[in-house]
Amino acid sequence: MSRHATIRGSIRYTSNKPERLGQERGREYFSVTRQRDGVRVMHAHCEIDDAPNVIRDVVMSLDPQWYPIDCSVRLTVGDRYEGTGLFRFSETQADAELTNRRDGRISQRIALQERVRWLGAHPICGDALCLSIYDLAQGPGRQFFPNLMLTSPDHRGATGPMLFALGFGLEFVGREDITVLAGSFKALHFRYVDTAGELPDEHPPYDVWCTDDGNYIFLKGCVGGYMQTAYELAELVIDAG
């Protein structure tokens, strides 16, 4: 039996603003390794060119039911070190050991009534992995998840890192066949919804398509509102181990 399987890929960030339509504004390189015990480990290196530019490196592990186990984030904003964080989650507590430019060195201990269902650490590939928490057996519709956390409430994830508790909804639009730079795929189409009152500023509408194969690999996405950004899977390599 294979010891593990790894999926690697890259994502192209572009603009949908009329004056910059199709212009590249960043990129992401990621891998997701499923270990023999069912644990998934995601690595993501993210680059946003728009000022102030952002460089983010994330390593996050998920248990076989897609609950976060631990995560590390290192963040550079405007070519300056912004912060580093290590996060761990148990049944009853969320812990973080952090150093960031604004607050210096701090520790967070947050008691939980129920497990944190997802940690949003802001890589685009993670926005697709998050869709695994939706119960597809219920079919198209909306489901709200109150027990979530972010490493930054900023829409670009350009602050902190620091734990931020919130809830949001996922809308399952349906199954579609789509073609992106990396090829043609059977896809699940979702929309992030119900962010009003959960963030300092409401997040613009956000549609995401992921693979319909149980791996929830990011295929494409688009954000409306003031952001007007687009994301597309540019390459994909599957290593069966």
pLDDT reported for residue 239: 85
pLDDT reported for residue 202: 77
Question: Would you say residue 1 has pLDDT above 60?
Answer: no
Helical residues (DSSP H) of the chain, grouped into ranges: 124-129
Q: CATH code at 109?
A: 2.50.20
pLDDT reported for residue 136: 97
pLDDT reported for residue 65: 97
For residue 211 the two structure tokens come to 């693979």
pLDDT reported for residue 199: 75
Cβ atoms of 223 and 14 within 8 Å: the answer is no
Range of the domain at 96: 4-239
Count of the separate structural domains present in the chain? 1
Question: Would you say residue 240 has pLDDT above 70?
Answer: no
Q: How confident is the model at residue 241 (pLDDT cuts 50, 70, 90)?
A: low
Euclidean distance between CA atoms 241 and 227, whole angstroms? 39
Rounded to a whole number of angstroms, the distance between the first and last alpha carbons of the chain is: 9
Average pLDDT of the residues in 164-174 = 96
How does pLDDT run across 113-146, given as a tens digit for each residue?
999 999 999 999 999 999 999 999 999 999 999 9
- The neighbour count for residue 78, using CB atoms within 10 Å, is 10
pLDDT above 90 covers what percent of the chain?
Answer: 90
Euclidean distance between CA atoms 198 and 116, whole angstroms? 16
pLDDT above 70 covers what percent of the chain?
Answer: 97
**CA torsion sign, 159 to 236 to 135 to 205?**
positive
How does pLDDT run across 4-28, given as a tens digit for each residue?
999 999 999 999 999 999 999 999 9
191: helix, coil or strand? strand
38: helix, coil or strand? coil
Read off the pTM.
Answer: 0.95
How does pLDDT run across 191-203, given as a tens digit for each residue?
999 886 667 777 8
pLDDT reported for residue 2: 62
